[in-house]
A and B are shown apart, each in its own frame.
Chain A
Amino acid sequence: MQNTDRRDFLKLAGLAGVTFTAGLFPGLEVSAQMAPDFHFVQISDTHWGYKGPANPDAEHTLEKAIVTVNGLAKKPDFIVFTGDLTHTTEDGAERRARMKRFKEIVSALNVKDVRFMPGEHDASLDKGAAFKEFFGATHYTFDHKGVHFIALDNVSDPGARLGDEQLAWLAADLKQRRPDDRIVVLTHRPLFDLVPSWDWTTADGAKAIDLLMPYRNVVVFYGHIHQEHHHMTGHIAHHAAKSLIFPQATPGTQPRRPPPPPFDASLAPLGTRDVSVSSTVTMTELPVTRT
């Protein structure tokens, strides 16, 4: 599958009424004239508990990101974590210890409306049991200032399926929407076939996209691939976020998904994302440095 390059994406995005800004530094006023209705912050793939050469600063990266987010000139309305809060462990007690510590660390966020979603590292070995103990439901909806948010769980099933039950739940929820409602979908893995041979898919993600297709204003934010990436399925934009642990290779550049590429600070490979929502969606990447 081809990556949508940025220029093509902007063209497509323009048609869809979605724009994005990228590569700006935190604190820059990028959207003054856009009068956003509100903004939120997406944080993804923190992998708390990871130890390894791909990030020797793993114990501090999350804390640095929190400082960055707390320092935003305009406080976000809420923060969403799109999965892989913790790094996987087969020891259920250790998994819970990591979740507990993660929760303590993120309690330093000065925004108290924080929503959590699982990634496969959190949920795939116990079908989300530990995650639910600490963070509640793995899929849910909420409404904020006229925008409908849908959090989809494509990781509690170790085969990366949403499953028929959740798809039926999604269909029932969408029935209550008008075709022009603004809908933001949050999930961990790509719902579309980004790179099937790298397992960068959701087994039944196409079914969710089909259900969303009749709605004209749908944007998807996800994680999992540890890099900024933008893709359109029809008029629906999918935006992957950077991680706070290590970058992953550019999609599809090798037959097998390679190990994390060497850390190149000039690429600002780690970070979080500010999302302004009005009649459009504007993203501002918030890089986090590492020592």
Chain B
Amino acid sequence: MNRRHLIALLIGGSAAGGAIGLARAAAPGEIQIMASKFEFTPDTVKVKRGEPVTLVLTSIDRIHGFKMPDFGIRIDVMPDEERRVTLTPDKAGSFVFFCDVFCGDGHEEMSGTLVVEG
């Protein structure tokens, strides 16, 4: 996981002011996830139960998908465009997300895990 974004997430809410000055995606409670053939970066995202979090998704090559069935989330991930999806995890555990737009020979391995702590 990108340390900068993790810090931004951790201080989000209680000390939101600390996030000011960080690079573009690092608003409080936001986590940037980059899609590329055939991975998500980061591919493990840690969040806290009961705390709202916004995933900021963008692609560096082609259209991908982002689907997380356990939270009913799915959006297209577009190149050169940030798309946001906000959730407040109401259950702890590990939840799979994956690309659901067929993108090539490694498509089937393009997945990651949302870890909800607490």
Total contacts A to B, CB within 8 angstroms? 44
Task: Name the contact of A90 in the complex, choosing from B63, B70, B104 (C-beta under 8 A).
Answer: B104
Contact with B along A83-95 (1 / 0, CB 8 A): 0000111100000
Chain A: CB-nearest residue to B105 = A88
Chain B: CB-nearest residue to A155 = B102
Give the Cβ gap from A155 to chain B, nearest Cβ, in Å: 8
Say whether A197 contacts B96, CB under 8 Å: yes
Residue A257 at the chain B interface, CB threshold 8 Å: yes
Interface size class on chain A is 10 to 19
| Bound complex: CA A128 to CA B94 (Å) | 36
| Bound complex: CA A259 to CA B111 (Å) | 13
| Bound complex: CA A155 to CA B102 (Å) | 9
Interface size class on chain B is 20 to 34
Say whether A257 contacts B104, CB under 8 Å: no
From known contacts A197-B69, A199-B67, infer whether A255 and B105 are also in contact, taking CB-CB under 8 Å.
no
Most buried by B among A87, A89, A256, A259: A256
A interface majority secondary structure: loop
Residue A274 at the chain B interface, CB threshold 8 Å: no
Residue B108 at the chain A interface, CB threshold 8 Å: yes
Give the Cβ gap from A107 to chain B, nearest Cβ, in Å: 27
Residue A124 at the chain B interface, CB threshold 8 Å: yes
Task: Name the contact of B96 in the complex, choosing from A87, A88, A256, A259 (C-beta under 8 A).
Answer: A256
From known contacts A159-B65, A199-B67, A256-B111, infer whether A120 and B96 are also in contact, taking CB-CB under 8 Å.
no
Contacts of B98 in A (CB 8 A): 197, 199, 256
Say whether A197 contacts B100, CB under 8 Å: no
Residue B103 at the chain A interface, CB threshold 8 Å: yes
Contact with A along B11-43 (1 / 0, CB 8 A): 000000000000000000000000000000000
Residue B101 at the chain A interface, CB threshold 8 Å: yes
Contacts of B63 in A (CB 8 A): 158
Say whether B104 contacts A197, CB under 8 Å: no
Contacts of A256 in B (CB 8 A): 96, 98, 111, 113
Contacts of A203 in B (CB 8 A): 100
From known contacts A197-B96, A255-B94, infer whether A125 and B102 are also in contact, taking CB-CB under 8 Å.
yes
| Bound complex: CA A67 to CA B96 (Å) | 41
Say whether B94 contacts A120, CB under 8 Å: no
Contacts of B69 in A (CB 8 A): 196-197
Say whether B102 contacts A158, CB under 8 Å: yes
Say whether A120 contacts B111, CB under 8 Å: no
Residue A237 at the chain B interface, CB threshold 8 Å: no
Say whether B100 contacts A255, CB under 8 Å: no
| Bound complex: CA A180 to CA B94 (Å) | 46
Contacts of B76 in A (CB 8 A): 159
Chain A: CB-nearest residue to B94 = A255
Q: Can you report 14 A-B residue pairs in the complex whose CB atoms are below 8 A from each other?
A: A87-B105, A158-B101, A159-B65, A159-B101, A160-B100, A160-B102, A197-B96, A197-B98, A199-B100, A199-B108, A203-B100, A256-B96, A256-B111, A259-B109
Given contacts A88-B107, A197-B70, could you give 12 more A-B pairs where the C-beta distance is less than 8 Å?
A: A90-B104, A90-B105, A125-B102, A155-B102, A158-B101, A158-B102, A159-B100, A160-B100, A196-B69, A197-B69, A199-B100, A256-B96
Question: Closest 3 interchain pairs by CB?
Answer: A124-B102, A196-B69, A158-B102
Query: B interface vs A, CB < 8 Å?
Result: 63, 65, 67, 69-70, 76, 94, 96, 98, 100-105, 107-109, 111, 113
